[in-house]
Structure 1
Amino acid sequence: MSTVYSVEVPNAPTISGEGKPRRHPLFVDKLLEHPPEVITLWENFLHGLKESGGGNFLGHRPIENGVAQPYVWQTYPEVKTRVISLGSGLRKLGLKPLAPLGILMLNCPEWTITELASYMHNFITVPLYETLGVEAIDHIVNETDMEYVVTSQTKARYLLDMKTSLPTLHTIIVADHLDQDTIDYGKSLNVQVVDFLKVEDEGSRNQVKPETVKPSDIATICYTSGTTGRPKGAVLTNSNIVSLIAGITAMGEKGKLFKISKDDVHVSYLPLAHVYERCNQGVMIYSGASIGFYQGDTLKLLDDIAELKPTLFISVPRLLNRVYDKVMAGVKAKGGVAEWTFNTAYNQKKALLSRGIINHWLWDRVVFTPIRARLGGRVRAMLSGSAPISPDVMDFLRICFSAEVYEGFGQTENAACITMSHYGDTKAGHVGGPQPTVEVKLVDVPDMNYTSQDVPLPRGEICVRGYTVFREYYKNPEKTNETLDKNGWCHTGDIGLWDSQGRLIIIDRLKNIFKLAQGEYIAPEKIELIYQKHELVAQAYVHGDSLQASLVGVIVPDNEVLTRWAKENGFEDKSFKELCEEPKVKNHILQTLAKYGKAHDLKGFENIKNIYLSPEPFSAENDLLTPTFKLKRHQAQKHFTRQIETMYFEIS
């Protein structure tokens, strides 16, 4: 008998235009709100402190003469002492409960210590990150009336350089190597720049009793990269994140997910500015597990992992795809007997996946041990989130690492997780069933021909309601009302279907917005409008694939401008069609657009990395434009399928 991963809520009313809500089969009568005896994030830490037995908590690698040393650890009790001191020190500096505290630095122990101090004293953490750009930081600091930021030395100067546009900012706490020049620079701008350790020291000598934190109090305002315009601040309460921790933990205890203990080791390299990694850490902390931080350089991540030897590996498709590509390229390069042996072992293990088996007594030892060693050799479970992952890569991970591999689906607005696959389910291509904390329904999208009545499987926009759903977008009622309806349903903008076993499959996006493999949202129209302002471009179609890390584009050059350029550059004897096929012309336009995009504030991930030059304009006649001259995106994707595949192949 097939396992069922979600069931319809009993007695739920039938509503025209939508399917019935579905819940996890073990929590169909009542959604899970919080773990036993834990209702705030500070209590979550205290639970982890007890579970840890005083064991290792936060680890980092000191750098000596440019060389990373072995991990140095702080225990749970040691971190608690520092957290109490820092929280009191921040209060002595004037930071009040329910006031925003900015955090702008790479993952490190001080990030987590700052966050825990905020949970204890009821500060609202507001992560900042440079990849959003200067305008976004400006917007976030000013929208939240932020006065205090914890940051690194280099980022402190970055903020001070922006001070004229950040009128509320008056105190910067530097977590590493503060120098006198930076202190003096701050003074000249009327900004107090202080050392993190000095704040701790002051707090240790003058402890301030924290006020009571309520589950409904805001824990964080997490700004999303958004799609167009300014980023939106998703308001998440203590209750939202504690509920997420409850769901993951309960799944582990019921044998539906990996169960975490104080013996587990997690590697923290996914940005803590995003809710995904912060929730990962919350789950680890609840169980008293250890968290080891990377050096801050993703190029050295595998070296950090080899040293740390994590037992759990939580990642994103972009990195997992890289591991897959490197292993497969290495196998192909070896060739001969080695390639034959690998393929034989791989295919035999792939055949076992259909029976839920991920281990093989011979091949795991003979063929796959060196591959497992790339992640330290101890990984027992892996999780992929933030963007869709290819079924081929999921199979690869299970085969080569002999590990449980899970895929989750979520958003910042839902504390990172709505659904997740289950233990023992080795079928790829879906994101599992609802978490114990939420219910999920599909709402008809007639414009895109997705309905709850579709045969054989119901389809529609994925909507979620429950304890992890965010409260609002900060100071943005218009966007809040677009996303949260009057009955508490959060409209995700993703299109899904339920398979025959009640698992969710993501099939489309409601608007012309998509995620790249690293989780960044892209609004292609915005990019196309910028490129089309350049004289060389008559028309542009920007394409992104959630299984790819970059964008590609189809460009129809401006005939007159390109012909003029061709005459000036030795291509005067070529026709327009021949110019579009000339590699040097393509390279010139690609480089020109890269510079142009940068000059017009396109972020790195928004610039196209490869192009196809089409001599044929988009038109209503070739079904690429509507009668009102709007690009038919789905038609364009279909029309240029071969060229898109070629472009991605060329940059892979």
Structure 2
Amino acid sequence: MFQSFVVPSSQVPGYSPIYRHPDYKDGTHKDRYSNITTLYELFKAQVKNHPKENFLGRRTYYPETNAFGDYEWLTTTEVDEMVDDYGSGLDQLFAKHAPDMNEETGQQPLGLFSFNRPEWLLSELTAFRSSRYSVGISDVAGVETAEFYIRCSEVKILVCSLDKIPRILERIEHTPDLKVIVSMDNLDCSKPTLASQAFNAETAEKLRSKAASLGIVLTDVAQVIEMGRAKPTEPTLPTPSTYCTLSFSSGSTGLQKGILINHGAFTVASRAAHLGLQQRNTSHLSFMPIAHIYDRYVIYTFMHDIIRIGFASGIDTLLLSDMQALRPTVIMTTPRLLKSVYDKVALATVENKGVAGILSRFAYKSKLKRINSGRGFKHALWDRLVFRKIAQLFGGKTNLVVSGAMTLDSEIQNFFRAALSCNVIQGYGQTESIASGVIQKIDDVSTGIIGIPSPGVDIRLRSIPEMGYNATNRKCPRGEMMIRSEGIFSGYFKAPEKTAETMDGEWLATGDITQVNPDGSLTTIDRMKNVIRNSSSINVETEPLEIIYGAHRLVDSVIIHGSLRAYDLIAIVVPKQETFVPWAQKIVGNTNAGLVELCKDERVADVMASELRAHGSKAKTSTPVVIGAVHLEPRDFAQIDREFLTLSRKLRRFKIIQYYDSVIDGLFQKLEKAIDLQIETPGSSQ
């Protein structure tokens, strides 16, 4: 059965036919929510339809032990009342300190800078109440990036967590438009949070004095709410064409760009996902950076029905603890997180050498066979004996896992289908497409695909002849994915030329090379900007290789690079410490050697290169080029520089390659010397 609907007579020279979701052949997706045209209307519908339901939650924080307890909740009704009071207070601050509209947008931006927490979403909803738009600044952004966002977007009022305020004030000359800072944490420190643990009332008051001396008004959310309660204002409601957010691109392939999105587009994109995922009464753990589109796309998608949004504690190592406390029904995540958990769980189960390993492998194969034959995801015996503990790591209530951002390794996808007794599907989207575009059907158990067009989304491929991709090939169309929908961005902020480069008429050019599979599903196979050429002029697609080599049990992260100087590739590898250290100690014959020492040892690097070559051969990589040399990096890329990761936790290849310039040069010199030795060796085939 062909999964996608092919629009008749839609093929034109240089392009594939147009593909649509088979249940929405006319390209629209009308339902009972079609009358909702803004995110603020969506929120108000949540309040009206589900009054007094638990809505926004956070874990109780105990500063004396730096520990977290159960979730505390604000109901929909309580949040609605807070939005009105908070909005009235912000109206007064804007009127007094930042009355002007932004020249580019005709609206006022509200900056939001913190890790995921109720005040973030509350502030965004408050901005919507007065037709303002949010400018999200991720907690993982470095200080210079944060300042760039504030300066570029001309933010005058910033809402942020208390821990961010000292460094903003210390470098206030880098954000000259800033007039008001609103702390998400109480400045009297009466309600301790993770972000305020290093402060007390006295140090917070010193911050207020310093701010005043710099001409900055410093207040907090609680005080703004009190201002609004004392002097209410009337809402200025948005329309579909009103901007709701300015979101910065991940920057994985170049400079970050501000992406303007309006209410109408965001509402359409979220409704499409709601129809595709078909989830009701959802508990969602918000841990992906909320400043990025992905997490908010999820939130507004599930807001079409009952949704409980539990915010993560803000400590990465406690993420599974957060899941166990919340017990989410749907997990929206990335391959990076799933691989991290898989590497730990697999060691104790399917990769275990003992009896437990034999039992786990048998259970896994048995369950996978059951799933692939269409007999369901649950198994009374194996779930109880083997997989129940793994499911409990994620809270034990998971109905669906959706992975985005990059391609998920097939073995990991299948493992979690068996372990969590639910489907694990993949999807594809960009910030420009509001995270929407392509997603697997919730009953599709295939791997290696990103799915079919979402409801109301048109997909077609554009031929890229210089890379050898032909979108008009009948058997296997390949080309750059193009997206057309009412749910795409309005344009780049102050960069019309970039907008023009990205749009082909009505179509968004994604830059991702995709193929239409024989069954009508889609698979991303390449990235236009992630292609390198070796000395034999072979085009090498780096991303598929990084997925394959990144799945190796010794590898945590990997960057593959090539050059016209050599035939083989080189790899910058961050090892998976738990598996790498004992493996490498055997190579050097020293059980006391630590991670840093082992990474410096040339013998270990050479054997790692051999391991990766064997792994690539086993995985049947699509390129004949192999890993010739490896540099082992003992630190996680994000520990070296937080700018090495995008907001969606993808690696910024261009920044990493720049950083390792001298290391990469040394690796290619090593490959060149090896070639010279082969040429000079008597009797060689050269």
Deviation at 1:349, TM superposition (A): 1.0
Partners of 2:559 and 2:329 in 1: CA distance = 37
2:546 maps to 545
CA contact (8 A) 1:461 1:495 kept: yes
1:259 lines up with 2:279 in the alignment: yes
2:517 maps to 499
Deviation at 1:370, TM superposition (A): 1.0
1:296-324: CA deviation from partner (whole Å, max 9, x where unpaired): 00101111111111111111111111121
Partners of 1:595 and 1:501 in 2: CA distance = 39
SS at 2:482 equivalent: strand
Partners of 2:423 and 2:19 in 1: CA distance = 25
Higher alpha-carbon deviation: 73-82 or 354-363: 354-363
SS at 2:151 equivalent: helix
1:354 maps to 372
Partners of 1:489 and 1:440 in 2: CA distance = 9
Partners of 2:146 and 2:128 in 1: CA distance = 23
Partners of 1:266 and 1:600 in 2: CA distance = 30
1:146-176: CA deviation from partner (whole Å, max 9, x where unpaired): 1011001111122212211211001000011
CA contact (8 A) 1:439 1:465 kept: yes
Q: CA RMSD in A?
A: 3.3
2:25 maps to 28
Partners of 2:454 and 2:514 in 1: CA distance = 16
CA spacing shift, 1:236–1:596, aligned 2, 3 Å: closer
CA contact (8 A) 1:60 1:73 kept: yes
CA spacing shift, 1:492–1:554, aligned 2, 3 Å: closer
Tell me which amino acid in the other structure corresponds to 2:489.
Answer: F
- In structure 2, stretches of 5+ residues that fail to align are 102-106, 188-203, 534-540, 551-555, 566-599, 609-629, 646-650, 677-686
2:212 maps to 187
Partners of 1:598 and 1:370 in 2: CA distance = 31
CA spacing shift, 1:162–1:429, aligned 2, 3 Å: same
2:420 maps to 401
1:637 maps to none
1:151 maps to 160
2:183 maps to 174
1:222 maps to 247
TM-score, structure 2 normalization: 0.76
SS at 1:110 equivalent: helix
CA contact (8 A) 1:555 1:613 kept: no
1:323-369: CA deviation from partner (whole Å, max 9, x where unpaired): 21111111267543222111111001111232233222321222211
CA spacing shift, 1:169–1:33, aligned 2, 3 Å: farther
1:365 maps to 384
2:536 maps to none
Q: Out of 270, 277, 281, which is 2:295 matched to?
A: 277
CA contact (8 A) 1:265 1:289 kept: yes
1:383 lines up with 2:397 in the alignment: no
CA spacing shift, 1:59–1:458, aligned 2, 3 Å: same
Tell me which amino acid in the other structure corresponds to 1:327.
Answer: V
Deviation at 1:613, TM superposition (A): 3.6
1:603 maps to 644
1:325 lines up with 2:343 in the alignment: yes
CA spacing shift, 1:331–1:580, aligned 2, 3 Å: closer
- In structure 1, stretches of 5+ residues that fail to align are 252-256, 514-523, 526-540, 559-578, 623-652
2:125 maps to 116
Partners of 1:470 and 1:203 in 2: CA distance = 33
Partners of 1:600 and 1:402 in 2: CA distance = 37
CA spacing shift, 1:44–1:373, aligned 2, 3 Å: same
Tell me which amino acid in the other structure corresponds to 2:54.
Answer: N
CA spacing shift, 1:120–1:286, aligned 2, 3 Å: farther
Partners of 1:274 and 1:302 in 2: CA distance = 21
Q: Out of 293, 301, 305, which is 2:323 matched to?
A: 305
Partners of 2:670 and 2:521 in 1: CA distance = 43
CA contact (8 A) 1:306 1:376 kept: yes
Tell me which amino acid in the other structure corresponds to 1:73.
Answer: W
1:206 maps to 231
1:474 maps to 493
1:213-262: CA deviation from partner (whole Å, max 9, x where unpaired): 110111101001324654101111101110012112223xxxxx34222x
CA contact (8 A) 1:450 1:459 kept: yes
1:238 lines up with 2:263 in the alignment: yes
1:93 maps to 93
Partners of 2:285 and 2:240 in 1: CA distance = 28
1:509 maps to 527
CA contact (8 A) 1:85 1:203 kept: yes
Tell me which amino acid in the other structure corresponds to 1:460.
Answer: G
Q: How many residues align?
A: 564
CA spacing shift, 1:81–1:201, aligned 2, 3 Å: same
1:480-514: CA deviation from partner (whole Å, max 9, x where unpaired): 111012x211000000011122111100011237x
CA spacing shift, 1:582–1:335, aligned 2, 3 Å: closer
CA contact (8 A) 1:551 1:607 kept: no
Deviation at 1:284, TM superposition (A): 2.3
Partners of 1:61 and 1:337 in 2: CA distance = 39
1:107 lines up with 2:116 in the alignment: yes
Partners of 2:461 and 2:73 in 1: CA distance = 46
CA contact (8 A) 2:400 2:422 kept: yes
Partners of 1:260 and 1:458 in 2: CA distance = 36
Deviation at 1:184, TM superposition (A): 1.2
Higher alpha-carbon deviation: 132-141 or 265-274: 132-141
CA contact (8 A) 1:24 1:435 kept: yes
Map 1:59-138 → 2, pairs under 5 A: 59-64=57-62, 65=64, 66-94=66-94, 98-129=107-138, 131-138=140-147
Q: Out of 127, 144, 164, which is 2:173 matched to?
A: 164
CA contact (8 A) 1:151 1:175 kept: yes
